[in-house]
């Protein structure tokens, strides 16, 4: 029956240290994300989607068709 023994003391300490370091990284990332959100950012470098104006495609294509008709 392989694998029934517990890990050695040093391996266990190493694992605990690795997990603690990973948790610190996660917490630091959460804090940075929270600080960025407080500054008004949406979490990405381009800002939130509400900041962008989406043009009405019907108006744009209608304007192009009128230009083509008057030119021809």
Number of domains the chain is built from: 1
The answer to whether residue 60 sits within a structural domain is no
Answer whether residue 33 is part of any domain: yes
pLDDT at 24 (0 to 100)? 98
**pTM score of the predicted model:** 0.45
Expressed as residue numbers, the domain containing 21 is: 9-41
What is the model's pLDDT at position 48? 59
Task: Indicate whether 1 pLDDT > 60.
Answer: no
Where b means 16+ CB within 10 Å and e means fewer, 8-27 reads: eeeeeeeeeeeeeeeeeeee
At 47-72, the pLDDT tens digits run 555 666 666 777 656 566 555 555 55
Instruction: Write out the two tokens for 14.
Output: 């190493």
Q: Is residue 54 part of a domain?
A: no
């Amino acid at each position: 029956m392989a694998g029934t023994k517990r890990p050695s003391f040093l391996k266990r300490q190493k694992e605990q240290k690795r997990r603690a370091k990973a948790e610190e990284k996660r917490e630091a990332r959460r804090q940075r994300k929270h600080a960025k959100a407080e500054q008004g950012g949406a979490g990405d470098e381009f800002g939130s989607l509400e900041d962008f104006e989406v043009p009405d495609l019907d108006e744009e294509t209608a304007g192009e068709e009128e230009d083509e008709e008057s030119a021809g």
